[in-house]
Amino acid sequence: MTTGTPRPVRIAASILAADFARLGEQVAEAEAAGCDWLHVDVMDGHFVPNISLGLPVIEALRRSTRLPLDVHLMIEQPERFITAFAAAGADHLIIHVEACRHLHRAVEQIRAAGLSPGVTLNPATPLVMVEGLLPHVDQVVIMSVNPGFGGQQFIPSSLSRLAALRRRLTEAGLNVLISIDGGVNPDNAGQAVLAGADVLVAGTAVFGRGHTVAAGVAALRRAAAQVGQDRL
């Protein structure tokens, strides 16, 4: 057991799993339940086989909540839309390693637009693909499902990838957040935190129909707290 002050764990409620017929209410419930961020998946039907939310939804969310908007671009050539998402009210902008040819340039453009830059890797993408970018980003997202759809099952090998990235960041002395995104629930959240996750991106576990938003968030907090003292 490691001694010291444990790193805080953030919960990012993924609105892809929310009830869109009452999205404003669901966002308010997530904020009241103590979620730290709202995670917004933007899909273009090309990079991933689905189409989801766009700029008007980001603008509406910005008007309705004080929570940081953690915007995940699952789109081809994301650098084309950096300025637009900044104007719409995003706080964090996450782009895929696999979708951007000039990744360093895009990360610098995100920073220049006043946003917090992040990069994400699909489950089969080697961690070495972000090695040179680690000093330049605020967040690295480990996808624990194949992106494109909500409600998928967590890929267990994501935990070893998460732990390897945590070791690399610690060795380099870099203060970069690690997020885990996909299939996160109270059964695996503790393992993810112990492996090194700082941010739990959760959709169904927060907005699922079998419980209230407050109960979903509380269950994730309990799972994270049970192991929180075992990591720095």
Instruction: List active site positions.
Output: 41, 181
Measured CA to CA, the distance from residue 159 to residue 157 in angstroms comes to 5
Question: Alpha carbon of 87 to those of 14, 44, 113: distances in Å?
Answer: 21, 19, 9
Token pair of 35, please? 């979620």
DSSP 8-state code for residue 99: G
Measured CA to CA, the distance from residue 107 to residue 220 in angstroms comes to 31
In terms of Cβ atoms closer than 10 Å to its own Cβ (0-12, 13-18, 19+), residue 165 is: buried
